[in-house]
Chain A
C-alpha cells in the first residue's frame, strides 16, 4: 500500500495539533449549542473562574510545540494587528492575544473590542476582557457562521504543506487522471483513446 505507518502517525499528530489549535473555537461552539460532542477539546482554561459566556483562554504551557500554531490564532488572528482597545489604552500593537498576555503588566482592566478582521475563512471579531491587569477571557462577537469546523481545521494545516510550481512531464504513463474535460477536449481525448484502442470509428462518437 502507498501509506506507511510514519505518514499516518504524522497525520495523527498534526491533526491533534490542529484540534488543539481549534480548542477555543470548539469551546465557543459548545457554549453556543454547536454539535461538538464527539470532538476532543483543546487546552482547558488556566483560570477556572473565567467568565463562562465566552471563549476562555488555553493555558500557555499546553500550546503545541510549534510556535506558529498558536491557539490564539483562531480567536485573534495576528496579521491584522491584534486587539484594538475601544478606550485610549496602550494597545497590543503586534500580533496576538497571547503576546498581549506576556505584556500583562501594561494592560488596563476592562473590555476591549477588536476590529472585525478577515481571517481568510471568514470574518471574526473578538472582545478581550482584562481583569487585574491580566487577560482573562476573549468573547467572540462575530465568527464565520457560514463556514464549518472542518474548514477551520483544514485551514490550520495549510501553511505546513509543501508547495511547488507545476511543470510538464514527458515521462510515459499507462493512464491519466484528470477532471472531466470540456466537450471539445473530451472529443479529442476520446478520439485519441479510441485510436490507441485500435478503433477506426474515432470521429463520430459524442
Chain B
C-alpha cells in the first residue's frame, strides 16, 4: 500500500505492504515533528533555543541529532552547520534524513524487506515495489518541476537532492552567508543510507561547483550535480546506478 500525508510541512509518502508498518512510520514522523519543529513553540528545539533546557538534559533523540549534526559539520569543513547566523539552532537540515532513516529501520524491524519512504524529495528504498521490480527513483528537473531528467535504480539506498529552488533560503554557505549559490541548481547524492545522502548533499551543495568533487572524494557516495546551464557533472560510479 502507498499512502501520503502532510507532516513536518511536507508530503511524506510511505510505500510498504503492511498497513501497520505504514501507520507506525507515520506516527514516528509525527513524533519527530513535535520534538524538532522550530516553528512549534512547545517543541524541544524551540525550548533549547529559548535556553529553557540545558544541552545535557535533552532527549536521547535530540542528542543523537545534535551529535550527528556536529559530526557532519566537522566532516564537511563547516559547510554543514545547523547554527544560523542569528545564533539560533535549526536542525531541519539533518532531521529530515535522520527521520527517514529511522522510519525505514522501523519498517524493516517489523519484518519488511520491500519498502520505500519519501519525505520532501528525499528517498530511502529497499527491495522491490509491489510489482516485484526494483524501485525506480527519478531525479526532478530543477528547471521544470513536472519533469525528470534521470531514472535511477539504486537498490537498497538513499537518494537526496539539495537545490537552489528551495523555499526561502535555508541552504546557505556558512563561510559566506550572503553568497548567492546560483552556479549549481541541483545536487543529488546517493548513499546506502538516506541520512548520509541528505547531510552530504546539503553540505556539498553549499560548496557550489566544488561540491561534486567533494562527493567524489568521499567513500560510499555518488552524486549528480546540475548547473544553471543545464549541464550535469556526475561522480565516477554514478552511471552504474542508472536504470536500464
Contacts and interface: CB of A to CB of B under 8 A. Distances in A.
Contacts of A12: 219
B216 A157 contact: yes
A174 B79 CA distance: 32
Contact of A189 (B11, B160, B209, B240): B11
B53 to A, nearest CB: 28
Contacts of B122: 177
B167 A183 contact: yes
A34 interface: no
Contacts of A174: 15, 116, 125, 129, 135-137
Given A14-B216, A163-B233, A176-B140, A2 B190 contact: yes
A7 B219 CA distance: 9
A187 to B, nearest CB: 10
Contact of B233 (A10, A146, A162): A162
Nearest to B134: A174
Contacts of A188: 145
B211 interface: yes
A142 interface: no
Contacts of B190: 2
A121 B135 CA distance: 39
A32 interface: no
B165 interface: yes
Contacts of B43: none
B151 to A, nearest CB: 5
A154 B217 contact: yes
A161 interface: yes
A64 B69 CA distance: 36
A154 B210 contact: yes
Interface string B8-51: 00110101000000000000000000000000000000000000
B207 A151 contact: yes
Contacts of A200: none
B177 interface: no
Contacts of B155: 1-2
Nearest to B229: A165
Nearest to A171: B151
B86 to A, nearest CB: 21
Contacts of B139: 176-178
Nearest to A178: B140
Contact of B216 (A147, A154, A176, A185): A154
A137 to B, nearest CB: 28
Interface in A103-131: 121
B237 interface: yes
7 contacts: A1-B156, A11-B216, A148-B175, A171-B151, A174-B129, A177-B139, A180-B166
Q: Which 8 A-B pairs have the closest CB atoms?
A: A179-B163, A154-B213, A178-B140, A173-B138, A7-B237, A157-B213, A197-B4, A148-B77
Interface of A: 1-4, 7-8, 10-12, 14-15, 18, 121, 146-151, 153-158, 160-169, 171-183, 185-186, 188-190, 193-194, 196-197, 199, 205
Interface of B: 2-4, 6, 10-11, 13, 15, 76-79, 116, 118, 120-123, 125, 129, 135-142, 144-145, 147-151, 154-157, 159-167, 175-176, 186, 188, 190, 192, 207, 209-214, 216-217, 219-220, 222, 226, 230-241, 243
Given A154-B213, A163-B231, A165-B231, 6 more contacts: A2-B192, A7-B236, A11-B237, A169-B148, A173-B136, A175-B136
